[in-house]
């Protein structure tokens, strides 16, 4: 219980959000299921309670720092893995319409399990690659925010995210210490895809030495129809 009280305080300190008892209960269920499933399916390298709460839950909720000014109604999480940052964001924003995209079946199955177990409404889990989703008219330029964590370097990630965002919306990449360097390398990709760098926000997670960054790109023009390119091409030939 002490870890959860610690997380509640840290969430409030970092984001200004006070978790409700119902939200705390949801995180406790999520944590239990993640640790249990991880023993069977190796969903994440983080296997201890404090690590899950800090490096998964709290890290995911730091997205709220940049979303407060423009709260999403529709959000898509690319390469969500075991549901990060999408499911924690949904827990604290119950009215959010959320799409979780994960190409690895065992991870997508876990996300579907958590959506059902937590009774999360208006959540869709899609087992496809980001390049396929970006060319699907049901998803293309349909979201207020597109987010990703630890998926690819930014010149590649921009091609996954920006085609999914409506003009006027935002994409966010959660990055480690290489965030500023990757952002500089991705400036041409942002322009080609209709994006413009809005902000790079440093984030310090309690007990984590490595500094984190939230890289926010605003969608200022429609993405040319040729992007994203075919599956595998963005990673082989970044913009």
Per-residue pLDDT tens over the stretch 93-132: 999 999 999 999 999 999 999 999 999 999 999 999 999 9
> Taking every pair of C-alpha atoms in the chain, what is the biggest distance, in angstroms?
51
pLDDT, tens digit (0-9, with 9 covering 90-100), for 45-82: 888 888 889 989 999 999 999 999 999 999 999 999 99
pLDDT at 137: 97
Percentage, residues of the chain above pLDDT 90: 86
Domain positions in the chain are 71-236
Strands 195-203, 97-101: pairing kind: unpaired
**Residue appearing with tokens 């630890």:** 150
- Does 71-236 carry CATH code 3.40.50.150? yes
Q: What percent of the chain has pLDDT over 70?
A: 99
Global pTM value: 0.96
Question: What pLDDT is recorded for position 43?
Answer: 87
Task: Please say whether the beta carbons of 221 and 190 come within 8 A.
Answer: no
């Amino acid at each position: 219980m002490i870890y959860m009280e610690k997380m509640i305080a840290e969430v409030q300190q970092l984001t200004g959000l006070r978790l409700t008892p119902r939200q705390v209960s949801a995180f406790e269920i999520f944590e239990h299921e993640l640790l249990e499933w991880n023993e069977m399916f190796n969903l994440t390298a983080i296997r201890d309670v404090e690590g899950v709460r800090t490096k998964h839950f709290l890290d995911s909720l730091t997205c709220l720092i940049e979303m407060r000014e423009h709260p999403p109604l529709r959000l898509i999480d690319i390469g969500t893995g075991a549901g990060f940052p999408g499911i924690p964001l949904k827990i604290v924003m119950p009215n959010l319409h959320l799409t979780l995209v994960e190409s690895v079946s065992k991870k997508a199955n876990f996300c579907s399990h958590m959506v059902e177990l937590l009774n999360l409404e208006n959540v869709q889990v899609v087992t496809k690659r980001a390049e396929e989703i970006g060319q699907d008219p049901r998803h293309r330029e349909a979201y207020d925010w597109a987010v990703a964590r630890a998926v690819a370097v930014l010149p590649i990630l921009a091609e996954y995210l920006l085609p999914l965002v409506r003009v006027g919306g935002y994409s966010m990449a959660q990055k480690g210490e290489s965030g500023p360097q990757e952002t500089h390398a991705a400036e041409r990709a942002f322009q080609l895809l209709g994006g413009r760098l809005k902000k790079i926000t440093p984030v310090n997670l309690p007990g984590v030495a490595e500094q984190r960054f939230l890289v926010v790109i605003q969608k200022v023009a429609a993405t040319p129809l040729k992007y994203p390119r075919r599956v595998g091409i963005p990673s082989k030939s970044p913009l």
